Amino acid sequence: MAEPSEVVAQTASDDPEVGLSGVASLRALVEAVEELQVRRARELGWSWQQIAGLLGVSKQAVHQKYGKGERKRRSLR
């Protein structure tokens, strides 16, 4: 495990290439984790409203993003 100061130093890396691919990777990781969490919450019966509230986005936004995939998965079953 890196020391906190070391992490900070690396975060502020001088090399934009490292920094930018870190940002892109973080974004992709966030998307992936969000998808897993939203899908599971829905399977556990959570409402779009509840999910949106915790994600800090509008109900419409979260529904638009994940609602379609959910209908597809259901029809596959």
Partner 1 sequence: MRLLRRRSVGESARPEAEPYLAAGADEARRLGHSYVGTEHVLAVLVRNRSGGATRVLEELETSAAQVEGALACWLAPSKSKIDPEALAALGIDLDAVRERLEETFGPGALEETRAACLGICPRLKRALLSALEHAEGNPLGDEHILLGMLSVPDCVAACVLAEFDVSLEAAAAVVATSSE
Measured at the alpha carbon of residue 64, what is the angle toward residues 59 and 66, in degrees to the nearest 5?
95
Size of the site for partner 1 (CB under 8 A): 23
By CB under 8 A, is residue 7 in contact with partner 1?
A: yes
Per CB under 8 A, the list member of 14, 16, 26, 52 interacting with partner 1 is 26
Q: How far apart are CA 11 and CA 22, in angstroms?
A: 9
Report the C-alpha gap between 58 and 48 in whole angstroms: 9
The only residue of 47, 58, 64, 69 in contact with partner 1, by rule CB under 8 A: 69
Q: How far apart are CA 45 and CA 53, in angstroms?
A: 15
List of residues contacting partner 1 (CB under 8 A): 2, 7, 10-11, 13, 18-19, 21-22, 24-26, 28-29, 31-36, 40, 69, 72
